[in-house]
Structure 1
Amino acid sequence: MSADHSALTFAGHVAVVTGAGSGIGRATAVAFAEAGAQVLGVGRREAPLKETAALHPRIGVLAIDVCGEGAPAEVIRTAVRRWGRIDHLVNNAGATAVMRLADTDEQTVTNLLALNVVAPSLLAHAALPHLRETSGTIINLSSTYGHRPMPGGAHYAATKAAVEQLTRSWALELAEEGVRVNAVAPGPTRTDVMLHAGLTPETADDMYAYERDRIPTHRIASPAEIAHWVLRMADPAGRHATGQVVTVDGGLELI
């Protein structure tokens, strides 16, 4: 689970991590806590969040749908009320959808945009006054498919392309204010996102096998490997890096 960022690099810092009930979000919450930060793990489902919180005493949780009315502001208020500051916002919560153009469903497109684009924007807006005070960071989670085609998943890929442009544009807007904005773009990673997209475990395994054969390193990433790069982009020692999209996909984007 650890991202191997063992020194207390983030002692005294506060990190908000969305989608913390499983996968990359859980691994990121644990990695920040192990590196000294107080962490607010956010997600829709209370039971998985409690499992995340049980992994480290510096993790607190908030069960809330970040797409709900007023939810982004409530997330930020909760963190500030509890710890008095925010240093890092990790916009990890997201959804995918396997949907060809011929099968396009309006509600699916709307839901993807709401969770993958609108919610991170409103969370960043709510956190910004606090990030200005701490010279903090925003780390957005994109995907290797944010900058390469994804047949059968065009709308998901489009939302991640939007995330990458938000990252670059916000970085330019906020550079003079000391707030850094970067993104991590994972390739195929072993999480439950495919199951939430409606695939059966067997179909998900087949997709992972297909991707593994295409990836130059012939590996599917673990959530902890992605969390490692999230913390690298948030590290105060990297204060000259902003507007970057770091792709962690075993070389998949190169082919």
Structure 2
Amino acid sequence: MTKTSLQGQSVIVTGGGTGIGRATAHQFAREGAQVLVVGRNAENLERTAEGRPGIRTFVADVAAPKAPARIVTAAVEAFGRLDVLVNNAAVTRPAPLGTIDRDVAQQQLDTNLIGPLMLAQAALPRLEDGGGTIVNITANGPGRAFPGNSVYGSTKVALDFLTHTWAVELSPRNIRVVSVAPGITQTPVLTHAGFTPEEIAASRDEILARVPLGRAARPEEIAWWIVNVARPEAGYLTGSVIRVDGGINIA
């Protein structure tokens, strides 16, 4: 087998049980990387790892206070190093202003923003060892409204801001930081949020009408960008937000 630039690298992918996280883990593993997939659902993680000896599973909630240190320790104990952190885990609980529940808002902040922040911080010493990469998976840009999703959308804008700031802070430590910002993608995120199939179909149709390419992305199409920004060949890329959104942010 031809050796690739990711051969033998160690990768953490949070939210690795479904959707973009699963597709990303599979693509990293095909490139010869060793991958630790992290999530709250052990059964979903096992499906991701099934038949792929390069993928190991670790059940954890990234929002839990002790989870970041445990996740990093698990990756290093399994693979002996850490090269790439993919902050993909996220939850969305849509609600317009006036109906937002404080606890539900806190859950989104903890999972989408505080969790990635603390996990990146826990990973720093290991990433610095070999000049690692942090890839934050975000979404909407700061210049567009996201009606009914103000909490979720604000966490993703904030994560892009962290990407910009960390890229500057961490460049002396030879660590790159990049955001990959998907548009509408074929994932179960709205199912996990409690929406019915009919509600999801109606929402998807409304959004797709505004996408120039006229379709949702496949998880594998987003994963391709995540894997490629982590390659050594992408070593001059840092602080950027790569929007893989079918053109919706310019339409």
Is this a same-fold pair by TM over 0.5?
yes
- TM-score, with structure 2 as normaliser: 0.97
The correspondence for 1:35, drawn from 22, 31, 37, is 31
| Letter in structure 2 aligned against 1:167 | T
Q: Which runs of 5+ in 1 are unaligned?
A: 1-5
In 2, distance between residues paired with 1:29 and 1:20?
Answer: 7
2:27 is aligned with what amino acid?
A
Identity score, percent: 42
**Number of equivalenced pairs:** 250
Q: How does 1:122-133 map to 2 (within 5 A)?
A: 122-133=118-129
> Moved runs in structure 1, 4+ residues, more than 3 A?
none
Please state if 1:247 is matched with 2:243.
yes
Distance 2:141 2:153 in 1: 5
SS of aligned partner of 2:249: helix
Give 1:15 shift. Answer: 0.3
Alignment match, 1:22: 18
- Which amino acid letter does the alignment assign opposite residue 32 of structure 1? F
**1:31 match: secondary structure:** helix
Give the drift of 1:47: 0.3
The equivalent of 1:92 in structure 2 is: 88
Q: What displacement does 1:218 show?
A: 0.2
The aligned runs of 1:64-213 (5 Å cut-off) are: 64-145=60-141, 147-213=143-209
Q: How much does 1:8 deviate?
A: 2.5
RMSD: 1.2
Deviations 1:69-104 (A, max 9, x none): 311100000000111100000000001121100112
Give the TM-score taking structure 1 as reference length. Answer: 0.95
- Indicate if the aligned counterparts of 1:99 and 1:153 stay in contact, CA closer than 8 A: yes
Contact 2:140 2:157 in 1 (8 A): no
Report what 1:236 is aligned to.
232
Q: Check 1:147–1:163 CA distance in 2 against 1; reply closer, same or farther (3 A cut).
A: farther
Q: Distance in 1 between matches of 2:3 and 2:215?
A: 28
Separation in structure 1 between the aligned mates of residue 143 and residue 59 of structure 2, nearest angstrom: 32
Q: Is the CA contact (8 Å cut-off) linking 1:146 and 1:164 kept in structure 2?
A: no
With over 3 angstroms needed to count, the CA separation of the structure-2 counterparts of 1:96 and 1:202, relative to structure 1, is same
Give me the whole-angstrom Cα distance separating, in 2, the residues matched to 1:42 and 1:8. 24
Partner of 2:57: 61
